[in-house]
Amino acid sequence: MRRPRVGLVVNPVAGLGGRVGLGGTDGPERVRRAVELGARPLAGARAAQALRALRARLAVEDLEVLTAPGPMGADAVRAAGLVPVVVRVAGAAIGDDTTTVAVGSNAACADATGAGAASAGATPTAPVATASVVITTPAHTTSAVRALVDAGVDLLLFAGGDGTARDVLRALPGEGSERCPVLGIPTGVKMHSAVFAVGPAAAGEVAGAWLDGSGGVRLRDAEVMDRDEGALRDGRVASRLFGWLPVPDVPARVQQRKTGSTAATGDASTGIAAEVAGRVGEGPLVLGPGTTTRAVATALGADASLAGVDVLALRAGRADVVARDTGEAELLARIGAGPCWIGLSPIGGQGFLLGRGNQQISPRVLRAAGGRDRLLVLCPEHKLAALGGRPLLLDTGDPELDAELSGYLPVLTGHRRVSLYPATH
């Protein structure tokens, strides 16, 4: 009986713009701008974290990990203490002979190598290397996916965001259950799709449960979504459906898709705003993205951004935006020695409070602000009820901080209306 085969594809630039406030990093110029602003690649490290969780579930001798060369997979496999089986990817070779400068302390991305691949109708050139990170394209991802499926993997893990999920959807042959099962390791910024685990460790746990066959895990068709940029320009947060992919069905460890945003009623927004003003008093408020937070800001008299993290100054029950679309560095500078209030609203349908679309509010920012005692969770009752009792989710990238923030959090649902609601990671 052959060993289970898991495939791994890493998008090295996925999520690169999150902490610096750039959102997605599609295209080499945006990647370069993110690096200039101090961004550090996290995809390889999060992929390695998932593989370590998989190792804890399956014995090493019972596992075969097939992957693409260098930063598209092999580096992360080695960082997890496993030996990669590197497949040949069509097109320009992804070799181990070109090394760039390591970024930060991310060992999984220390060897940034030249890479290349081919997709239907296109022959991409080798990825463009900056001083810090290899820049791959969708064509490299689709070619790597096809090579791994052709090699006969039982489950394909991919580390990326919604854009990477769309690349995987395009690359996989067949329809519905004919396709190779997949599971996303969340390393992007938004991740509206339902093909991702709730965190890297959860991805490894779910992969192990599926591969060992002992847990009765079945497959379900999960939505591949991405943000509707046209709706965002119209002042709405909405997602577009691009298709479905088969994923292992472990409800507590695989995220739901994002549902369409429904603005809080005027009364709800005004009530939550009054509660926020009473708690903050006079001083700064870091406000996360979303329809709910924007409606609350409007009720306070401020024109906050819809998809960015802003800093508001409150005084006498009113607010002004003093910094718009901030990144981690600016937030740290404005918080200073702290403390500082942070207002967040969970993502509709998913329940994520941290780690989806607000990576600027990093573990460093959260600790500088004062931790869980300085969190204001803003959520009208109908939005909270729509979660159906599922907990709020935390994926800050720091497991210790996620554990500190877990438990029952006070949720502001109106003026002098607070619900205690569970949060977990």
Tell whether omega for the bond before 339 is within 30 degrees of 0, i.e. cis.
Answer: yes
CA distances from 128 to 156, 161, 230, 411 (A): 25, 20, 30, 45
Strands 128-129 and 134-135: what pairing?
A: antiparallel
- For residue 350, the number of C-alpha atoms closer than 13 Å in the C-beta half-sphere is 33
Nearest to 222 by CA among 276, 183, 253, 280: 183
Taking a C-beta distance cutoff of 8 angstroms, is the pair 147, 89 a contact? yes
Rounded to 10 degrees, the C-alpha dihedral 279/282/286/287 comes to: 60
pLDDT at 3: 85
pLDDT at 422: 98
pLDDT at 103: 43
Nearest to 255 by CA among 308, 206, 306: 206
Taking a C-beta distance cutoff of 8 angstroms, is the pair 15, 42 a contact? yes
- In sequence order, which ranges of 200-258 are alpha helices (DSSP H)? 200-212, 229-233
Helices (H) and strands (E) in the chain, counts: 13, 18
Q: Is 116 helix (H, G, I), strand (E, B) or coil?
A: coil
pLDDT at 35: 86
Mark the ranges of the chain whose per-residue pLDDT is less than 70: 1, 25, 91-132, 176-177, 228-238, 260-265
d(CA 388, CA 310): 30
pLDDT at 148: 97
Element housing 9 (H / E): strand 5-10
CA distances from 201 to 37, 104, 129, 206, 248 (A): 28, 22, 29, 9, 15
pLDDT at 178: 79
pLDDT at 309: 97
- For residue 384, the number of C-alpha atoms closer than 13 Å in the C-beta half-sphere is 20
How many angstroms from the chain centroid is the CA of residue 44? Answer: 13
pLDDT at 337: 84
pLDDT at 208: 94
Sheet strands (E) in 131-249 = 134-135, 155-160, 182-186, 219-227, 239-248
Nearest to 309 by CA among 357, 273, 259: 357
Q: What does the angle CA 307 – CA 253 – CA 170 come to, to the nearest 5 degrees?
A: 65
Rounded to 10 degrees, the C-alpha dihedral 290/384/206/159 comes to: 0
Taking a C-beta distance cutoff of 8 angstroms, is the pair 84, 55 a contact? no
pLDDT at 171: 96
Q: What does the angle CA 284 – CA 287 – CA 293 come to, to the nearest 5 degrees?
A: 130
pLDDT digits (tens, 9 = 90+) for 154-186: 999 999 999 999 999 999 988 766 799 999 999
> Most distant CA pair in the chain: distance in Å?
71
Which residues make beta-bridge pairs with 119? 122
Q: Show me where the domains of the chain are located.
A: 5-104+132-249, 265-423
Residue type, 294: R
